[in-house]
Amino acid sequence: MIYIHVPFCKSFCTYCDFYSEIPGGGMFDSYTDQVCAEIRRRAAEMSDELKTLYFGGGTPSVLPLSHLTRILLTLEECGHGGPYTEFTLEANPEDIVEKGLPYVESLRQLGVNRMSMGIQSFDDVLLRWMNRRHSAEGAKEAFRLVRKAGFENVSIDLIFGLSNLSDEVWEKTIDQAVALGPEHISCYQLTVEGDNVLTMRLENGEYEEASEETCRHQYDILCRKMAVAGFHHYEISNFAQPGFEAVHNGGYWARRPYVGLGPSAHSFSGRGRSWNSATLEGYTLTSEALSLEDEKVETLMLALRTAKGIDGEFLLANCREEDVKRLIGQGALCQVGRRYRIPEDHFFVSDEIIRELV
């Protein structure tokens, strides 16, 4: 499993807390040189046990094809080239529309077999408020181009949990996402954190965070509509048509080792975690070993986010029996064969449930 962080965005969304830079002045060259050098340096850490490649960001679709190709050739040169079981590239709609069909076709030829599109909303007023660069129509056009290029596995990202998102707009957004016919939809709840415009608006009294009740209500609408549309709610924030669950992200939740390359990328070796500093020039890697307690908490937290849940033996060996029994009694935990999971109607409060267990 390999993750490559592409830290470039043409502008910054109001809510975003990811590390990213506005590209210019040879930044693509310098970034690509450093990622290729990192691939060569860390090739021995990469395992092909689960052969996935994920370009995330930032906005990977701003990276020129020539630079993407250099990175892929370097992976090949180091014995970790394609084809990959799953090769995802995150893309913003405006890049797809601007670069057109030849760009998306080239991505396919390079081996990308899953596109993850950052659409966030189908409401133009909200999109402008978020400082997104695309319109609802632009997002639909981008989706059509991706399909035309032959992509059969497309994911759409949406955001909820905003105080200025009405039920009507949220329902319409979900309906429009479903109507496009994607294989996968990820929905993330907005959190106000970090040094960004939304934090500033909150501090200035220009924005009020959505209440817990509002967020829960929007999440309930989402769950209901996704079920009607035939999506499997296989992880708190993720819905898939049968057989299209994300393989790479599934590896994160199962705590499989992965190597993260590029500024601010995180890695997991199976025994410890490491992360690159969030700087474009000369980023460095910091590592930390995990204690047995850390491992236990991580395993529980990640597995209980999924519909598959956690192995019963592991749960009972690491949590107090009375807590498990109490949560089962409250309907916050249920047994499915040899495993335990948080039922979908309690996914929204999974953090509290997991806290009670650990």
Where on the chain is the footprint of ligand SF4 (CB under 6 A)? 9, 12-13, 16, 18, 20, 57-59, 92, 118
Sequence length of the chain is 358
3-state secondary structure 172-201: HHHHHHHHHCCCEEEEEECCCCCCCHHHHH
- Closer residue to ligand SF4 in complex, CB, 9/342: 9
Selection from 119, 98, 268, 106 nearest residue 180 by Cα:
119
- Closer residue to ligand SF4 in complex, CB, 156/354: 156
CB of 323 to ligand SF4, least distance (A): 37
CB of 140 to ligand SF4, least distance (A): 18
For residue 131, what are its two tokens?
């400082």
CB of 204 to ligand SF4, least distance (A): 20
Judged by DSSP in three states, 292 sits in helix
CB of 114 to ligand SF4, least distance (A): 18
User: How far, in whole angstroms, is CA 271 from its chain's centroid?
Assistant: 23
Going from the C-alpha of 332 to that of each of 121, 264, 312, 340, the distances in angstroms are 31, 35, 15, 10
- Closer residue to ligand SF4 in complex, CB, 12/314: 12
- Residue located via tokens 């890695």: 267
User: What is the rounded distance in angstroms from the CA atom of residue 161 to the CA atom of residue 121?
Assistant: 12
Selection from 88, 166, 94, 180 nearest residue 133 by Cα:
94
Judged by DSSP in three states, 187 sits in strand
- Closer residue to ligand SF4 in complex, CB, 117/327: 117
CB of 353 to ligand SF4, least distance (A): 29
User: What is the rounded distance in angstroms from the CA atom of residue 117 to the CA atom of residue 155?
Assistant: 6
Contact 142, 117 (CB under 8 A): yes
- Residue located via tokens 């029996």: 321
CB of 8 to ligand SF4, least distance (A): 8
- Closer residue to ligand SF4 in complex, CB, 74/155: 155
- Closer residue to ligand SF4 in complex, CB, 58/250: 58
- Closer residue to ligand SF4 in complex, CB, 5/305: 5
- Closer residue to ligand SF4 in complex, CB, 13/46: 13
For residue 97, what are its two tokens?
């529309």
CB of 9 to ligand SF4, least distance (A): 3
For residue 288, what are its two tokens?
């930390």
User: What is the rounded distance in angstroms from the CA atom of residue 221 to the CA atom of residue 213?
Assistant: 12
The CA radius of gyration of the chain, in Å to the nearest whole number, is 21
CB of 150 to ligand SF4, least distance (A): 25
